[in-house]
Amino acid sequence: MAETIYDIAVIGGGPAGLSAALTGRIRNKNIALFEHMDFSLKLQKAHLVDNYIGLPQVTGKGLMQQMSAHCLAHNPELIKEKVVNIFPGDEFFTVATPKNVYQARAVIIASGVVATALFSGERELLGRGVSYCATCDGMFYKEKDVAVISYSQEGEHEANYLGELCRNVYYLPQYKNELGNMRSGIEIIKAKPQSIQGDSQVEKLVTDQGELKVHGVFIIRQSDPVENVLPGLELDGEVIKVNRDMSTSIPGVFAAGDCTGKPWQIAKATGEGLVAVLSAISYLEQADRKSAAPAKD
Ligand SMILES: Cc1cc2nc3c(=O)[nH]c(=O)nc-3n(C[C@H](O)[C@H](O)[C@H](O)COP(=O)(O)OP(=O)(O)OC[C@H]3O[C@@H](n4cnc5c(N)ncnc54)[C@H](O)[C@@H]3O)c2cc1C
Protein backbone atom coordinates (compact mmCIF):
# COMPACT_ATOMS: atom_id res chain seq x y z
CA MET A 1 0.00 0.00 0.00
CA ALA A 2 1.36 3.44 -0.93
CA GLU A 3 2.33 5.56 2.06
CA THR A 4 0.19 8.62 2.71
CA ILE A 5 1.73 11.90 1.67
CA TYR A 6 -0.12 14.52 3.68
CA ASP A 7 -0.78 17.90 2.12
CA ILE A 8 0.24 19.69 5.31
CA ALA A 9 1.89 18.57 8.55
CA VAL A 10 0.96 20.83 11.46
CA ILE A 11 3.42 20.56 14.34
CA GLY A 12 1.70 21.42 17.64
CA GLY A 13 -1.87 21.27 18.86
CA GLY A 14 -2.12 24.58 20.70
CA PRO A 15 -4.37 27.44 19.53
CA ALA A 16 -2.15 28.15 16.48
CA GLY A 17 -1.91 24.55 15.28
CA LEU A 18 -5.58 23.77 15.91
CA SER A 19 -6.64 26.87 14.03
CA ALA A 20 -4.40 25.92 11.08
CA ALA A 21 -5.59 22.29 11.07
CA LEU A 22 -9.27 23.31 11.25
CA THR A 23 -9.12 25.64 8.26
CA GLY A 24 -6.93 23.18 6.38
CA ARG A 25 -9.63 20.53 6.79
CA ILE A 26 -12.40 22.97 5.86
CA ARG A 27 -10.41 23.58 2.66
CA ASN A 28 -10.40 19.81 2.19
CA LYS A 29 -6.67 19.30 2.66
CA ASN A 30 -5.17 16.12 4.03
CA ILE A 31 -3.77 17.29 7.39
CA ALA A 32 -1.50 15.50 9.85
CA LEU A 33 -1.72 17.20 13.25
CA PHE A 34 1.17 16.30 15.55
CA GLU A 35 0.62 16.83 19.30
CA HIS A 36 2.76 14.82 21.68
CA MET A 37 1.15 15.90 24.95
CA ASP A 38 -2.30 17.26 25.71
CA PHE A 39 -3.50 20.23 23.66
CA SER A 40 -1.51 23.21 25.02
CA LEU A 41 -0.88 22.07 28.57
CA LYS A 42 0.51 25.57 29.05
CA LEU A 43 -2.76 27.34 28.32
CA GLN A 44 -4.72 24.72 30.24
CA LYS A 45 -3.03 26.10 33.37
CA ALA A 46 -4.67 29.53 32.92
CA HIS A 47 -7.38 29.91 35.59
CA LEU A 48 -9.17 32.59 33.62
CA VAL A 49 -8.91 33.88 30.07
CA ASP A 50 -10.88 37.04 29.49
CA ASN A 51 -9.41 38.53 26.33
CA TYR A 52 -10.45 36.00 23.69
CA ILE A 53 -13.23 37.79 21.91
CA GLY A 54 -16.61 36.10 22.03
CA LEU A 55 -15.73 33.73 24.87
CA PRO A 56 -15.63 35.82 28.06
CA GLN A 57 -14.42 34.43 31.40
CA VAL A 58 -13.40 31.01 30.14
CA THR A 59 -10.84 28.78 31.83
CA GLY A 60 -7.73 27.83 29.87
CA LYS A 61 -8.75 24.18 30.11
CA GLY A 62 -12.29 24.91 28.93
CA LEU A 63 -11.02 26.95 26.00
CA MET A 64 -8.61 24.20 24.92
CA GLN A 65 -11.38 21.61 25.19
CA GLN A 66 -13.58 23.70 22.90
CA MET A 67 -10.79 24.40 20.41
CA SER A 68 -9.60 20.81 20.21
CA ALA A 69 -13.13 19.36 19.95
CA HIS A 70 -13.98 21.85 17.18
CA CYS A 71 -10.83 21.02 15.22
CA LEU A 72 -11.03 17.23 15.70
CA ALA A 73 -14.66 17.20 14.56
CA HIS A 74 -13.25 18.02 11.10
CA ASN A 75 -11.04 14.90 11.19
CA PRO A 76 -7.45 15.90 10.77
CA GLU A 77 -5.22 12.87 11.34
CA LEU A 78 -4.15 13.37 14.96
CA ILE A 79 -0.71 11.86 15.55
CA LYS A 80 0.17 11.80 19.23
CA GLU A 81 3.92 11.77 18.74
CA LYS A 82 6.68 14.31 19.18
CA VAL A 83 8.28 15.63 16.02
CA VAL A 84 12.02 15.49 16.53
CA ASN A 85 13.26 16.26 13.02
CA ILE A 86 11.98 17.72 9.78
CA PHE A 87 13.98 16.99 6.63
CA PRO A 88 13.21 19.02 3.49
CA GLY A 89 13.22 17.04 0.21
CA ASP A 90 12.56 17.80 -3.45
CA GLU A 91 8.86 16.93 -3.43
CA PHE A 92 7.95 16.54 0.21
CA PHE A 93 9.20 16.92 3.76
CA THR A 94 10.02 13.95 5.93
CA VAL A 95 8.72 14.45 9.46
CA ALA A 96 10.37 12.17 12.00
CA THR A 97 9.10 11.19 15.44
CA PRO A 98 10.71 8.67 17.80
CA LYS A 99 8.24 6.05 16.49
CA ASN A 100 7.82 6.72 12.80
CA VAL A 101 8.47 8.87 9.76
CA TYR A 102 5.76 10.72 7.84
CA GLN A 103 5.67 12.67 4.60
CA ALA A 104 4.01 16.00 3.89
CA ARG A 105 4.20 18.51 1.04
CA ALA A 106 4.14 21.54 3.37
CA VAL A 107 4.78 22.07 7.06
CA ILE A 108 3.36 24.50 9.61
CA ILE A 109 5.39 24.87 12.80
CA ALA A 110 3.12 25.82 15.71
CA SER A 111 5.13 24.38 18.56
CA GLY A 112 4.97 27.30 21.01
CA VAL A 113 7.97 28.69 22.82
CA VAL A 114 10.62 26.88 24.79
CA ALA A 115 9.49 27.93 28.24
CA THR A 116 12.86 27.55 29.93
CA ALA A 117 16.17 29.10 29.01
CA LEU A 118 18.69 26.77 27.42
CA PHE A 119 21.40 25.51 29.76
CA SER A 120 24.90 26.79 29.32
CA GLY A 121 26.62 24.27 27.03
CA GLU A 122 23.35 22.80 25.71
CA ARG A 123 23.51 24.32 22.24
CA GLU A 124 27.26 23.70 21.83
CA LEU A 125 27.05 20.04 22.86
CA LEU A 126 23.86 19.15 21.01
CA GLY A 127 24.50 15.90 19.12
CA ARG A 128 27.68 15.43 21.14
CA GLY A 129 26.03 14.12 24.27
CA VAL A 130 23.00 16.41 24.49
CA SER A 131 19.80 14.93 23.07
CA TYR A 132 16.06 15.60 23.16
CA CYS A 133 14.94 12.06 22.37
CA ALA A 134 15.89 8.87 24.23
CA THR A 135 14.15 6.59 21.74
CA CYS A 136 16.17 8.14 18.89
CA ASP A 137 19.59 8.35 20.54
CA GLY A 138 19.47 5.98 23.53
CA MET A 139 21.47 3.23 21.78
CA PHE A 140 24.53 5.52 21.62
CA TYR A 141 24.69 5.37 25.41
CA LYS A 142 24.58 1.61 25.91
CA GLU A 143 26.46 0.74 29.13
CA LYS A 144 27.18 4.43 29.70
CA ASP A 145 26.00 6.99 32.27
CA VAL A 146 23.27 9.47 31.43
CA ALA A 147 21.15 12.15 33.07
CA VAL A 148 17.54 12.91 32.11
CA ILE A 149 16.29 16.43 32.88
CA SER A 150 12.53 16.49 32.45
CA TYR A 151 9.88 19.18 32.66
CA SER A 152 6.98 16.74 32.35
CA GLN A 153 6.06 13.16 33.21
CA GLU A 154 6.87 12.21 29.62
CA GLY A 155 10.50 12.07 30.81
CA GLU A 156 9.69 9.10 33.07
CA HIS A 157 9.07 6.88 30.02
CA GLU A 158 12.27 8.10 28.43
CA ALA A 159 14.25 7.42 31.61
CA ASN A 160 12.70 3.95 31.98
CA TYR A 161 13.75 3.12 28.43
CA LEU A 162 17.29 4.37 29.08
CA GLY A 163 17.29 2.27 32.28
CA GLU A 164 17.15 -0.83 30.06
CA LEU A 165 20.31 0.20 28.18
CA CYS A 166 22.53 2.39 30.28
CA ARG A 167 24.84 1.69 33.20
CA ASN A 168 23.56 4.56 35.36
CA VAL A 169 20.52 6.76 34.79
CA TYR A 170 20.05 9.90 36.90
CA TYR A 171 16.54 11.39 36.69
CA LEU A 172 16.13 15.07 37.51
CA PRO A 173 12.39 15.92 37.54
CA GLN A 174 11.71 19.64 37.18
CA TYR A 175 7.94 19.35 37.80
CA LYS A 176 5.71 19.11 40.85
CA ASN A 177 3.60 16.02 40.00
CA GLU A 178 4.37 12.83 41.86
CA LEU A 179 6.61 10.40 40.06
CA GLY A 180 4.92 7.45 38.39
CA ASN A 181 6.34 3.95 38.10
CA MET A 182 10.03 4.26 37.58
CA ARG A 183 12.34 1.36 36.85
CA SER A 184 14.41 0.27 39.85
CA GLY A 185 18.02 1.40 39.66
CA ILE A 186 17.18 4.84 38.27
CA GLU A 187 18.50 7.42 40.71
CA ILE A 188 16.11 10.31 41.35
CA ILE A 189 17.97 13.55 41.95
CA LYS A 190 16.15 16.62 43.26
CA ALA A 191 18.40 19.32 41.94
CA LYS A 192 18.35 22.28 39.57
CA PRO A 193 20.59 21.73 36.54
CA GLN A 194 22.91 24.65 35.83
CA SER A 195 25.26 23.77 32.98
CA ILE A 196 26.39 20.96 30.72
CA GLN A 197 30.13 20.73 30.35
CA GLY A 198 32.68 18.92 28.22
CA ASP A 199 35.35 19.69 25.61
CA SER A 200 34.09 17.97 22.51
CA GLN A 201 31.63 15.59 24.20
CA VAL A 202 29.47 15.85 27.30
CA GLU A 203 31.52 15.04 30.39
CA LYS A 204 29.39 16.32 33.25
CA LEU A 205 26.15 17.94 34.31
CA VAL A 206 26.56 20.65 36.92
CA THR A 207 23.61 21.19 39.31
CA ASP A 208 22.98 23.31 42.38
CA GLN A 209 23.63 20.14 44.45
CA GLY A 210 26.89 19.09 42.80
CA GLU A 211 28.20 17.49 39.63
CA LEU A 212 27.20 14.30 37.83
CA LYS A 213 29.79 12.66 35.59
CA VAL A 214 27.78 11.55 32.55
CA HIS A 215 28.28 10.79 28.87
CA GLY A 216 24.85 11.99 27.83
CA VAL A 217 22.19 14.47 28.94
CA PHE A 218 18.61 14.04 27.71
CA ILE A 219 16.39 17.11 28.06
CA ILE A 220 12.62 16.60 27.83
CA ARG A 221 10.68 19.85 27.46
CA GLN A 222 7.21 20.56 26.13
CA SER A 223 8.82 22.26 23.11
CA ASP A 224 12.37 21.87 21.84
CA PRO A 225 14.38 24.71 20.32
CA VAL A 226 12.97 24.78 16.81
CA GLU A 227 16.32 25.29 15.09
CA ASN A 228 17.30 21.83 16.32
CA VAL A 229 14.17 20.25 14.84
CA LEU A 230 14.70 21.93 11.46
CA PRO A 231 18.35 23.00 11.02
CA GLY A 232 18.84 25.96 8.69
CA LEU A 233 15.57 27.66 9.63
CA GLU A 234 16.28 31.37 9.92
CA LEU A 235 15.62 32.86 13.33
CA ASP A 236 15.06 36.39 14.53
CA GLY A 237 16.73 36.19 17.94
CA GLU A 238 15.06 33.24 19.65
CA VAL A 239 11.95 33.10 17.44
CA ILE A 240 11.26 31.95 13.88
CA LYS A 241 11.66 34.69 11.30
CA VAL A 242 8.43 34.96 9.30
CA ASN A 243 7.03 37.08 6.51
CA ARG A 244 3.57 38.67 6.52
CA ASP A 245 2.12 35.44 5.03
CA MET A 246 3.81 33.37 7.79
CA SER A 247 6.27 31.84 5.34
CA THR A 248 9.77 31.18 6.69
CA SER A 249 13.22 31.07 5.13
CA ILE A 250 12.55 27.51 3.90
CA PRO A 251 10.07 27.22 1.00
CA GLY A 252 7.04 25.16 2.04
CA VAL A 253 7.60 25.77 5.76
CA PHE A 254 5.28 28.18 7.56
CA ALA A 255 5.09 29.11 11.25
CA ALA A 256 2.40 30.44 13.58
CA GLY A 257 1.78 31.35 17.19
CA ASP A 258 4.16 31.91 20.08
CA CYS A 259 7.07 30.40 18.10
CA THR A 260 7.08 33.47 15.81
CA GLY A 261 7.40 35.95 18.70
CA LYS A 262 5.44 38.28 20.93
CA PRO A 263 2.73 39.09 21.83
CA TRP A 264 2.25 35.64 23.34
CA GLN A 265 -1.52 35.71 23.10
CA ILE A 266 -4.21 33.30 21.98
CA ALA A 267 -5.80 35.63 19.44
CA LYS A 268 -2.47 36.21 17.70
CA ALA A 269 -1.82 32.45 17.65
CA THR A 270 -5.17 31.52 16.11
CA GLY A 271 -4.94 34.37 13.57
CA GLU A 272 -1.45 33.36 12.50
CA GLY A 273 -2.53 29.71 12.26
CA LEU A 274 -5.22 30.74 9.80
CA VAL A 275 -2.84 32.87 7.69
CA ALA A 276 -0.20 30.12 7.73
CA VAL A 277 -2.55 27.43 6.44
CA LEU A 278 -3.99 29.64 3.70
CA SER A 279 -0.45 30.46 2.59
CA ALA A 280 0.48 26.77 2.71
CA ILE A 281 -2.52 25.99 0.49
CA SER A 282 -1.44 28.67 -2.03
CA TYR A 283 2.05 27.16 -1.98
CA LEU A 284 0.61 23.71 -2.79
CA GLU A 285 -1.55 25.11 -5.58
CA GLN A 286 1.46 26.85 -7.11
CA ALA A 287 3.50 23.65 -6.94
CA ASP A 288 0.65 21.75 -8.65
CA ARG A 289 0.45 24.36 -11.42
CA LYS A 290 4.21 24.12 -11.97
CA SER A 291 4.19 20.34 -12.23
CA ALA A 292 1.15 20.42 -14.59
CA ALA A 293 2.73 23.00 -16.94
CA PRO A 294 4.18 21.52 -20.16
CA ALA A 295 7.97 21.39 -20.10
CA LYS A 296 9.65 24.11 -22.21
CA ASP A 297 12.34 23.00 -24.70
C1 LIG B 1 -0.59 30.51 32.74
C2 LIG B 1 -0.84 31.15 31.40
C3 LIG B 1 -1.91 31.99 31.21
C4 LIG B 1 -2.17 32.57 29.96
N5 LIG B 1 -3.24 33.39 29.82
C6 LIG B 1 -3.51 33.96 28.62
C7 LIG B 1 -4.65 34.80 28.45
O8 LIG B 1 -5.42 35.04 29.40
N9 LIG B 1 -4.87 35.32 27.23
C10 LIG B 1 -4.04 35.09 26.16
O11 LIG B 1 -4.30 35.59 25.06
N12 LIG B 1 -2.94 34.30 26.30
C13 LIG B 1 -2.66 33.72 27.50
N14 LIG B 1 -1.56 32.93 27.64
C15 LIG B 1 -0.65 32.74 26.46
C16 LIG B 1 -1.19 31.62 25.55
O17 LIG B 1 -1.25 30.42 26.30
C18 LIG B 1 -0.28 31.43 24.34
O19 LIG B 1 -0.07 32.65 23.67
C20 LIG B 1 -0.89 30.40 23.37
O21 LIG B 1 -1.13 29.16 24.02
C22 LIG B 1 0.05 30.18 22.17
O23 LIG B 1 -0.46 29.17 21.35
P24 LIG B 1 0.51 28.29 20.41
O25 LIG B 1 -0.38 27.36 19.69
O26 LIG B 1 1.41 29.18 19.65
O27 LIG B 1 1.49 27.51 21.40
P28 LIG B 1 1.16 26.51 22.60
O29 LIG B 1 -0.12 26.83 23.24
O30 LIG B 1 2.39 26.54 23.44
O31 LIG B 1 1.00 25.10 21.90
C32 LIG B 1 2.08 24.43 21.31
C33 LIG B 1 1.75 22.95 21.28
O34 LIG B 1 2.71 22.27 20.49
C35 LIG B 1 3.03 21.02 21.09
N36 LIG B 1 4.38 20.68 20.62
C37 LIG B 1 5.52 21.38 20.83
N38 LIG B 1 6.56 20.81 20.22
C39 LIG B 1 6.05 19.71 19.59
C40 LIG B 1 6.65 18.70 18.78
N41 LIG B 1 7.96 18.73 18.50
N42 LIG B 1 5.87 17.69 18.30
C43 LIG B 1 4.53 17.66 18.59
N44 LIG B 1 3.91 18.61 19.36
C45 LIG B 1 4.67 19.62 19.84
C46 LIG B 1 2.95 21.30 22.58
O47 LIG B 1 2.73 20.11 23.33
C48 LIG B 1 1.78 22.27 22.66
O49 LIG B 1 0.55 21.62 22.88
C50 LIG B 1 -1.28 32.34 28.88
C51 LIG B 1 -0.18 31.50 29.06
C52 LIG B 1 0.05 30.92 30.30
C53 LIG B 1 1.24 30.01 30.48
Identify the pLDDT of residue 297: 61
Work out the average pLDDT over 84-105: 94
Mutate to test the pocket of ligand 1, among 43, 53, 114, 154 (most ligand atoms within 8 A of CB): 43
- For 32, 217, 272, 282, the CA distances from 256, given in Å and listed in that order, are 16, 30, 5, 16
Buried/exposed code over 238-273 (b: 16+ C-beta within 10 A; e: otherwise): eebebeeebbbebebbbbbbbbbbeeeebebbbbbb
* Residues 6 or more apart in contact with residue 285 via CB below 8 angstroms: none
Nearest CA to ligand 1 atom 34: 12
The CATH number fitting domain 130-220, selected from 3.30.70.380, 3.50.50.60, 3.40.640.10, 3.40.50.720: 3.50.50.60
CA distance 236 to 242: 9
| Sequence ranges of the domains in the chain | 5-115+224-292, 130-220
Does this chain's domain 5-115+224-292 share its CATH topology with 130-220?
yes
Ligand 1 binding pocket includes 266 (Cβ within 6 Å): yes
Ligand 1 binding pocket includes 257 (Cβ within 6 Å): yes
Angle separating helix axes 15-26 and 266-292, nearest 10 degrees: 40
Taking only the tens place, the pLDDT of each residue in 208-255 is 999 999 999 999 988 888 888 998 999 998 899 999 999 999 999 999
Identify the pLDDT of residue 2: 52
Backbone angles phi, psi at 62, to 5 degrees: -60, -40
Instruction: Report CA(218)–ligand 1 centroid distance (Å).
Output: 23
Q: Which amino acid is at 41?
A: L
Taking only the tens place, the pLDDT of each residue in 162-199 is 999 999 999 999 988 889 889 999 999 999 999 999 99
CATH number of 5-115+224-292: 3.50.50.60
Instruction: Report CA(13)–ligand 1 centroid distance (Å).
Output: 9
Closest CA to 220 of 139, 121, 166, 153: 153
Q: Please compute, for residue 297, the number of CA atoms within 13 A of its CA located in the half-sphere on the CB side.
A: 0
Work out the average pLDDT over 149-171: 94
